[in-house]
Structure 1
């Protein structure tokens, strides 16, 4: 192997659940620092890794990701350096990545390329969330001071929200990802000819095996195995969040979790005395992005996700048949269904589709869930030498996707194995307002303080338009039969929110 070949030498995870034995009420930065220390220990190096760490890339916490999130207890001004300091490191380069669950996987490709090019010898990716602790403290009326100031350079890449959500969607109640994913889910449901209840069962069949994996994972936020019926039936405990989703099958952000990954060149790993049986090779990484949801050719599909995985497999020189284990990003069902449909994969494949237990059950650790996926992939590779493990990482509303293939088998990096693909082109215009007729395409219904609100996406010529209705009769009609293709009347009520009714 070339001395500059990048390998993963350490992976660490930490977690805690409110009120359980050993609960320490750790801040996000404490969790991140502990995860980085765990990753260093995982390398089994003869020498200290901390002084050799030249680059630390941090995943952006939810509370500093956008204005709709808050940091009630304050936050670090330099997240990567806060985490690095706790692990005894002072890197030359500190990076704060953009928003999106694709971040950890994409950074593996980028930092591996930096190592292969000789611009870095050792780099770490670290992220954490303490949302569960934060909410528990606020519920008790307590406060903490989690603010801190760290000196040193910071490469802040900004939020990266451009093209993820447009203002039309935000005005119509689809600012949070759940509404967008629900719209996509209902396109697929109608294409399959399923009722809402039947489709909830399909989601339950997909996710019930995930809960079994989560139940065995000591880092899970919700380590409880559940049946298909428990996941599918709407009850007081599994209340409707956005049609067709019940509470139990949506990403769980109330977690206290941290994860870190350490990469090094082969030469640096040898210098530091990292045993070769700890090395995990990066065989291929690819990432791709979509335009905003309403401009895509199909709301239910993500060509970017398919392209990222296809390219990662191609660069790695393997096919789906060679993959021995997989973690597909599962904030909701549709990102998993999208890939199973596109590649003709079996929902009940015995290899399974999660290593962690999935975001609704293991926990959706903000933008850093895939840090945990990669840590689990590293462990799986070591336990099954020569096996090939695939990790899929999703961000936004199926807006950004990164994929990576890992194995203990060596990978030749004399030619880069990271490909950042061209963004998918938009196919539809978006109308902010419309006074006229259109053809319904998809919908969701979300509970609100004033009752349920239905959000419709409709087609008018070569454009899409959104509209809302709080009429119970319209909500009932949406639930009662096929929606796609039905003629609707849309009008602007001058507030920027369109209203609709069926013709």
Structure 2
């Protein structure tokens, strides 16, 4: 097989702006910093002239009229193509996969991929603790598609648009499927994320470098309050971080021509981008991901590897549920000794909105440079277990031509299993498939949101209403599998389950 146009990563850099740094750099300045460092990391001043495309992940914490163009001007490159994405946690790996195809087809010689957030700086500014001397905020004059929220209008009425709501609902479905009791599953989540926290404690780029025990993660306390059942604060992604990452890709042919040190090269051995059914209420099972199941197989096939050949993983981990879903779909057991994160994960390393997995890819590249025999799989997740992008990294070329990859037929097959639209005005009995309980800051439950099936098999959402005594009692019970009478309240335009004191 001809490997001249095989895509490789040749420059990487990441940066975490310290909490104490003043003045605070804005996201564009953070990208300038990591882009310059990634250019230096390549060890070739000449290759800079060959960068003919910039791919940029969406910026949530600020906005610019032409962020890719402004970045290009500041670092001294002249790209023919500028891409600025809408939001989505799958974006970094998806852009790497897209760049691999473009380079393999000869469409571009070298591509700079970058992203940054400064949400912590924004938080301090909004609290009146600092003054930001940033450029004027302007709406982007181009973006590849609109910003999306990953849920429909019906789901939004019940709060499912808030990521912690939806992922907590996935969690209660997973718990029921696992057969664990409530306290057993809480301990399991704590143990799972304690390992992530340990890795973050050893990562100089991590936002939170405390190593928490399983009990410190799973037990509610004044500094680890309950967010939604069954999650505490330390189980949830921390978006209030200032972080940036940049990587540069080119072909083997150009790297050889410009005499870039092969020790810098990291191959994208395999990858793919797949989607699940868009609306959560229309998925056959909310504790599964056909995209992860099929995507992992495709990525491994293209890399010429088996799952047991992968030495380390970085599984997107905004909440424990997505880690478990992907573990289940890949066939990774609870006792598997391999690392499931390279960085420490979104609750501890930090969650720079759509750009988290950029740091995972950069970390994978740094690890492989130090240990060329390793094979690492990065799994990026967008939306609400909606989209997954896979990348396998190592020091060998892909077994398949990147330019020939087309996954549209697999996505079509996944979409064929979409359920009918949910019942918006429910009457009768509802059997709970999943639920969550949002809490006040004081720890008092607000309400209970449930997803379930009606007697005719159709799915719907509903809210359980009751006084504090009722909600506190139900909080201690696993509601999955239980049935309740439900009715539609026209004034609230919500499906309601009313439970009185017993």
Q: Assess same fold via TM > 0.5.
A: yes
Match of 1:268 in 2: 254
Instruction: Choose which of 78, 83, 100 in structure 1 pairs with 2:66.
Output: 78
User: For 1:254 and 1:330, how far apart are their aligned partners in 2?
Assistant: 16
- Which region of structure 1 is more displaced relative to structure 2, 394-403 or 488-497? 488-497
Secondary structure of the structure 2 residue equivalent to 1:62: coil
- The equivalences for 1:20-419 within 5 A come to 24-45=23-44, 47-63=45-61, 71=62, 75-140=63-128, 142-147=130-135, 156-159=143-146, 161=148, 164-291=150-277, 292-411=279-398, 414=401, 416=403, 418-419=405-406
User: For 1:318 and 1:451, how far apart are their aligned partners in 2?
Assistant: 47
Secondary structure of the structure 2 residue equivalent to 1:229: helix
Shift of 1:196: 3.2
Match of 1:488 in 2: 484
Q: TM-score, normalised by structure 2?
A: 0.92
Match of 2:11 in 1: 10
Shift of 1:142: 4.7
User: Where does structure 1 lack aligned partners over 5 or more consecutive residues?
Assistant: 64-70
Q: Summarize the Cα distance change of 1:442–1:473 in structure 2 as closer, same or farther, 3 Å threshold.
A: farther
**Does the CA contact (< 8 Å) of 1:76 and 1:146 recur in 2?**
no
Q: TM-score, normalised by structure 1?
A: 0.91
Secondary structure of the structure 1 residue equivalent to 2:422: strand
Instruction: Choose which of 456, 461, 465 in structure 2 pairs with 1:466.
Output: 461
Secondary structure of the structure 2 residue equivalent to 1:459: strand
**Does the CA contact (< 8 Å) of 2:486 and 2:496 recur in 1?**
yes
Q: Summarize the Cα distance change of 1:141–1:278 in structure 2 as closer, same or farther, 3 Å threshold.
A: closer
Shift of 1:3: 2.7
**Does the CA contact (< 8 Å) of 2:201 and 2:209 recur in 1?**
yes
User: For 1:476 and 1:124, how far apart are their aligned partners in 2?
Assistant: 52
User: For 2:113 and 2:136, how far apart are their aligned partners in 1?
Assistant: 20
Secondary structure of the structure 2 residue equivalent to 1:422: helix
Residues paired across the two proteins, number? 488
User: For 1:451 and 1:214, how far apart are their aligned partners in 2?
Assistant: 31
Shift of 1:120: 0.4
Q: Over residues 78-135 of structure 1, what are the superposed CA-to-partner deviations in whole Å (9 max), with x where a residue is unaligned?
A: 2222333332222111001232111110111111111111110000110000001111
**Does the CA contact (< 8 Å) of 1:283 and 1:417 recur in 2?**
no
Match of 1:67 in 2: none
Shift of 1:413: 5.7
**Does the CA contact (< 8 Å) of 1:94 and 1:155 recur in 2?**
no
- The equivalences for 1:412-451 within 5 A come to 414=401, 416=403, 418-420=405-407, 421-423=410-412, 424-425=414-415, 426-448=418-440
Q: Over residues 385-414 of structure 1, what are the superposed CA-to-partner deviations in whole Å (9 max), with x where a residue is unaligned?
A: 132111000011100000011111233564
User: Where does structure 2 lack aligned partners over 5 or more consecutive residues?
Assistant: none
User: For 1:419 and 1:334, how far apart are their aligned partners in 2?
Assistant: 29
User: For 1:269 and 1:54, how far apart are their aligned partners in 2?
Assistant: 15
Shift of 1:348: 3.8
